[in-house]
Amino acid sequence: MTDLYDNVNEAQLQADASSTLLTYGSKFHPDIITQAKGIYIYTASGHRMLDWTSGQMSCLIGHGNCEIVEVVTKHAKSLDHLFSGMLSPPVISLAKRLIALTPPGLDKAFFLSTGGESNEAALRLAKLYTGKYEVVGLSASWHGMGGAANGAQYKTGRSGYGPVLPGNFALPAPNAYRSIFRHPDGSYDWRTELDYGFSLIDCQSAGSLAAVIVEPILSSGGMHPLPPGYLKALKEHCERRGMLLITDEAQTAIGRAGDMFAFMHEGDGIVPDILTLSKTLGNGLPLSAVLTSDKIAQFAKEANYMFYTTHVNDPLPAAVGDKVLEIVVRDRLVERSRELGEVLQQGLRRLQSRYGCIGDVRGRGLMAGVEIVTDKTTKAPGMELGDRVGTRMTELGLWAQLGTMKSFSGVFRISPPITISLEELQEGLDIMEKAFATTEGTMPLY
């Protein structure tokens, strides 16, 4: 370990990476990362950056959390991996703790490794339960790279790989900033948009609609929260068609968006038929979950539902997830995320009032989006400008963008660990201000 991180020859590592690593969707970051601690990441050259994407939107309670390190060390020594049909105390403890936090209707759980995997399992379960195969997703969605999950996502990654699974349909993704569906007063008419979307799906369906899968906040799609009332209306559409509602809370759950689970935000009693978790549950370790009702779970048991993987219900990641939930509840981090989220939104809106290139600010809790435009009237996307502002932020010590994929450019996706302090939050906002102030084309308004 010491040899790996001490006296790093960054040029040699980059050369080795170029000669050995296969690319997979984005350019590699130009610096080698050698340490992550708390809310900071460090490069081989010693450059420190506030990590405002929590790794891959995952390190909910910070990098190198001492309690998580202790759990990993303990279970790596004593109980790491088992035959997939075996049970262990960490798995049962995690299931009990998780189910205690969900409302009735989410009564049973099992655990996998990644968000894409949990969405594959959820869609497979929905198809078995309904006896149907057609799946509806939102047009700016991201659900994973497996066959069923990838077929139900539309943000990017569909072109060039041949046909997806049959029976996939897209609803127009809610976008209060850009949608053409408007009331006479100019406000966003999401209900007409949703109803119209389903009218088109009904025209195309072969009569086998099984499920709708949605994120409560469309993260890869630009950090768009579903409008108030949207999930309730969506559930009603599902019930009229005998479909299940699946909510994918890879990024929004466990306090990230200011509620334990983001679908609970509206308080209207809507409970999805299936809930998938990942990212935040494992604090950066590969852990995901599928939760559903007793009724669906009993059907699945009797129908011999199968989603058997090498790492299903693995004890080590389950122990980490159990500790994450314990810490979040014990330290009242959901409430903290909600309170600091208000500070974050205020700070971002203040920036919006000072720079004409910020077309929109949105989000909930410690999950925010800042959309860059080149013209506030036409809302022309400022992808190239966003890239330059992001580069400047990185130079100044703030990592506030997921990557270099063009589909993410123009919208900064912000989601720091929810353990961030008020001082650290302000530090990041100050860096953003400096980045906008020192980047050409940001259109200062003062």
Domains and CATH numbers, the chain: 2-64+334-437 (3.90.1150.10), 68-330 (3.40.640.10)
| Residue 277 CB partners (closer than 8 Å, separation 6+) | 115, 118, 249, 250, 253, 254, 288, 289, 291
Q: What value does the mean pLDDT of the chain take?
A: 94
pLDDT of residue 403: 43
pLDDT of residue 1: 45
State the catalytic residues: 142, 215, 248, 251, 279, 413
The tokens of 290 are what?
Answer: 């599928």
**Tens digits of per-residue pLDDT, 332-347?**
999 999 999 999 999 9
CA distance 156 to 406: 10
What parts of the chain have a pLDDT lower than 50? 1, 403-404
pLDDT of residue 268: 78
Burial of 96 (0-12, 13-18, 19+ CB in 10 A): exposed
pLDDT of residue 404: 46
**Tens digits of per-residue pLDDT, 89-116?**
999 999 999 999 999 999 999 999 999 9
- Cα 55 from chain centroid? 11
The tokens of 243 are what?
Answer: 């479909």
**What is the value of pTM for the model shown?**
0.95
pLDDT of residue 405: 54
CA distance 209 to 131: 9
pLDDT of residue 146: 86
Distances (CA, A) of 404 to 27, 190, 315, 388: 6, 31, 35, 11
pLDDT of residue 409: 56
Main-chain dihedrals φ then ψ at residue 145, nearest 5 degrees: -105, 0
